[in-house]
Amino acid sequence: MHAGKRTLRAPYATRLRHALTALALLLPVGAHAQWQLLDPPTTADLRGIDNVGDGVAWASGTNGTVVRTEDGGYMWQHCSTPPGAEKLDFRGIQAFDENTAIVMSSGPGDQSRLYKTTDGCQSWHQVFANPDAKGFFDSLRRVTAKQLYLLGDPVDGKFAVFYSPDAGNTWYIADDPGLDADKDAGAFAASNTSLIATGPFLYFGTGGAQSPHLYTTFSTCDAAKSTCPVAWTKTDVPLATGSAAAGVFSLASRNRANMSGKITTTLIAVGGIYDHPDADQKTAATSIDSGHTWTPAHTPPHGYRSAVAFDSDTQTWITVGPNGTDISTDDGRNWTPLHPSAQEHDAPDADKNWNALSLPYVVGPHGRVGKLRTNALPTAK
């Protein structure tokens, strides 16, 4: 697609099993409590959530909405609306601490913007707007204390990736090789998790009428020049395809050292077909080799899923969507529904109507916020 002139350029920055399978299929997870519904802090649809830790979390949504908590979700503060953002859809947020955060709006052209606060959301200032008239921001990711990355839909046949080296104050376009996109391909701004970082590597998932893909960074080091420019490679992901609403909607990862000390990265991709939320085929896939090869789930989540996360304490993957919540204890090969618990007096729909995850928090439409109970997941063996 044709786009407006790009004005910023800069280089890109440096960056047991079978038993568990049987257990996952037999585990009476319905007996466990799960999402404790919290008092809705807003009536806006919430799409972004970022748990900073120590009781601090930020969430974002429609109509320029940002809320935050400093006490583990018991009370939420309504933040001031960034200037000119009253009608913007804040699909993603990344926080540094209780005072500093950057929120991302998604929309055509300059309706895709970034705003930053450093005073606990009393005030905001705009730090970036999409430089391309036909661009669209999909996901914002903080990688280190200073480095952030931003993913946008393809412009002129290439996915748009932006980079900030100074905690989001200034932004540059990364003109890396390997970002070429298939015709009509795109990423999804469903939960701010279509772009993730693991160690020095970035990953993002895509969808569309053709095959969903995973894009992964790698270094192309030149010994003669003592430089290691970054490039991207892509692989097919066996998730739903065939429409603009199908593909990879969310990614999560975990690293593990083997007996020799080598680090291996496991990736989970979830998605499906957004406008067919009950379609339960090709809704999850796993890679155990950093995204080079993928295996579809043997027992997939029971519908379209917009977000996935890994709970390291219990070694459990958890994924959410409009029609429910599922967990996996065998690295995504088999997924089991996590039902509300009558013993804990869970609401009968506590498992449903969720958009985004940042454990232990989950958010959804109409100000819906939940918090994962500590006894919700099976204890790691």
pLDDT at 22: 38
The conformational region for residue 184 under phi > 0 = left, psi -120 to 50 = alpha, else beta, is left
Q: What is the pLDDT of residue 375?
A: 82
Percentage of residues of the chain with pLDDT beyond 70 = 88
Instruction: Give backbone dihedrals phi and psi of 173, rounded to 5 degrees, phi first.
Output: -85, 130
**pLDDT, tens digit, 9 for 90 and up, residues 129-173:** 999 999 999 999 999 999 999 999 999 999 999 999 999 999 999
Domain extent listing, the chain: 17-372
What is the average per-residue pLDDT within 293-315?
97
Range with the lowest mean pLDDT among 1-5, 128-132, 263-267, 313-317? 1-5
C-alpha distances in angstroms, 95 versus 4, 148, 190? 30, 11, 18
pLDDT (tens digit per residue) in 325-342: 999 999 999 999 999 988
How many angstroms separate the CA atoms of 329 and 282, rounded? 19
pLDDT of residue 351: 96
Tokens found for residue 233: 């490679």
Query: Average per-residue pLDDT in the chain?
Result: 89
Angle in degrees, CA 197, 204, 372, rounded to 5: 65
| Residue 101 confidence (pLDDT) | 98
**Placement of tokens 């958009």 in the chain:** 355
The structural architecture, per CATH, of the domain 17-372 is: 7 Propeller (2.130)
What is the Cα–Cα distance from 303 to 322, expressed in whole angstroms? 8
Res. 374: pLDDT tops 90? no
Amino acid identity, residue 225?
A: K
Model confidence band, residue 27 (pLDDT cutoffs 50, 70, 90): very low
